[in-house]
Structure 1
Amino acid sequence: MASAFDYTSLITSEHSGKPKFSAMVAAVAQCFADQINVMQSIPAAFDLDTAVGVQLDAVGLWAGITRQLKLPLNVYFSLDTANLGFDQGSWQGPFDPSAGLVSLDDATFRTLIRAKIAANSWDGTIPGAAAAYSNLFNGSGSYIFIQDNMDMTMTVGVSGAIPSAVLRALISGGYLHLKPEGVRVNYYFVSSVNNTPLFGFDVQNQYIAGFDTGSWAVAA
């Protein structure tokens, strides 16, 4: 980090013993040191991993997405509503509207930006779409897969850990709509039991499993 000392230390011996001269050089040099520090802080301020607030908003605009949602998401924590309990629903802040969440927090917005960046470089294939979708659930224990129904429709499934209410709403609400032109996404499914594959026959992996392992798929 730059400081005025970087400049005052260069004062020659014939002037270094004069406090008023050194103070004048320090006062003049401080503005240049501050400018250098600000310029050096800019990359971190707008880095996707560290940006917050309006800086993260700017990063989102570069990727082509904002934290402001098209429609309110009814995702607030509730003990009496399915899939909105502990570790799933979002706490309602003091300034959040009662109609529903309309602006994403930094952590969720950062995740959405990563997914949007992956979507921007999508190659149009189903494996590529699954890889882009997986950015939404990176590190969460959720596994996403896409099934081509061979009738110009596709189904998106999420197995493993049940995603938070916000992530479910984002993916089912079309905020990351990855599909070939002319193809319709007919369903978004998640596991009905946490940390389980979706139920299905003739497959046994982290995505789909049979009796005693897989759980019924429910709409996201």
Structure 2
Amino acid sequence: MELREHYLALVTPEHADKPKYMAMLRNTFKYTDDIFALAVDLDDKFDVDQAEGAQLDVVSEFVGVNRQVAYDPYAGVSSILNDHLFRTILKAKICQNMWQGDIDELADKWADVLPEYVLGIKDNMDMTMDVYMVGPTEPLLTELLQKGYIVPKPGGVRVNYYASEQALFAYDVDVPGLRGYDLGYWSKDITEYPAFSYEKDELHNRGYDQGYWI
């Protein structure tokens, strides 16, 4: 039933049989359905999971993050994020804003940020921590991870980032994202400096004079 008809049905019998009165009410209420539909739709329009374009930009003003990243992405990719990545950054920032600093809590919130990826965090107990992300690798997404846009970190702590499409190799471990012999793979390191590699010259692996031992 339309909202207008719902209200008209509430008119008492002593007035419901008055044609002029009912016509006046119909004219008064004729816009209520459109207004009600708009009000209901607004909630979805600004939902982080469903918002697009300008709606995401409005949400970002409240969250405190910008669609344009503060660095020049690798290989000439635009610094202005598309909706897919911007939505990820918004969710990550919301997670950071709510995070109380506990690693277990962060792991629980991760499913809301990038559910298709496995996140692993290890506290090395020396003011450093390892963060690994296992899932479909996207160059810009791994850069955003490295630049601190996705996973929050405590102040003064150095983070070593790793990304891989396959589960990472680990001794005596068999959990999502970490597997043992014949199942785990070496990670694609995305630390601050490119790793040294023979005869390679790419984003994370560089040759003599440009690559670093890690």
Instruction: Determine whether 1:184 maps to 2:158.
Output: yes
Q: Take 1:29 and 1:165, find their aligned partners in 2: how far apart are those partners?
A: 54
Q: Does 1:163 align with 2:137?
A: yes
Q: Cα distance, 1:2 vs. partner?
A: 5.5
Aligned to 2:114: 137
Alpha-carbon distance in 1 for matches of 2:108, 2:133 = 13
Partner of 2:102: 125
CA–CA separation in structure 2 for the residues paired with 1:115 and 1:100:
21
Tell me the CA shift for residue 43 of structure 1: 1.5
- What's the CA shift for 1:128? 2.5
Within-5 A mapping of 1:87-126:
99-126=76-103
Match of 2:19 in 1: 15
Distance in 1, Cα, partners of 2:114 & 2:40: 32
Q: 1-side partners of 2:125 and 2:110: how far apart? A: 20
Which one of the candidate residues 163, 169, 173 is aligned to 1:203?
A: 173
Distance 2:172 2:7 in 1: 73
Q: Which residue of 1 aligns with 2:129?
A: 154
Cα pair 2:92 2:151 within 8 Å, conserved? no
Amino acid at match of 1:15: P
Aligned to 2:147: 173
Shift in alpha-carbon separation, 1:164–1:30, aligned structure 2, 3 A: same
Shift of 1:215: 0.8
User: What is the aligned partner in structure 2 of residue 39 from structure 1?
Assistant: 39
Distance 1:8 1:127 in 2: 54
Name the Cα RMSD after superposition. 3.0
Uncovered stretches (5+) of structure 2, i.e. residues with no partner: 191-214
CA distance in 2, matches of 1:2, 1:165: 49
Instruction: Say whether the 8 Å CA contact 1:2–1:36 is kept in structure 2.
Output: no
What's the offset of the Cα at 1:126? Answer: 2.1
Q: Tell which has more relative contact order, 1 or 2 (C-alpha 8 A, sep 6+).
A: 1
Further displaced range: 149-158 or 126-135: 126-135
The 1:49–1:206 alpha-carbon spacing in structure 2 relative to 1, beyond 3 Å, is closer
Q: Structure 1's 152 and 173: CA in aligned 2 closer, same or farther, altered over 3 A?
A: same
Structure 1 residue 212: deviation in Å?
1.6
Q: Summarize the Cα distance change of 1:31–1:183 in structure 2 as closer, same or farther, 3 Å threshold.
A: same
Aligned residues: 186
What is the percentage of aligned positions where both structures have the same residue? 31
Kindly state the Cα deviation for residue 12 of structure 1 after the two structures are TM-superposed.
5.2
TM-score (norm 2): 0.70
**Contact 2:92–2:149 (CA under 8 A) maintained in structure 1:** no
Q: C-alpha displacement at 1:4, in angstroms?
A: 6.6
For residue 117 of structure 1, report the CA deviation from its aligned partner.
1.8
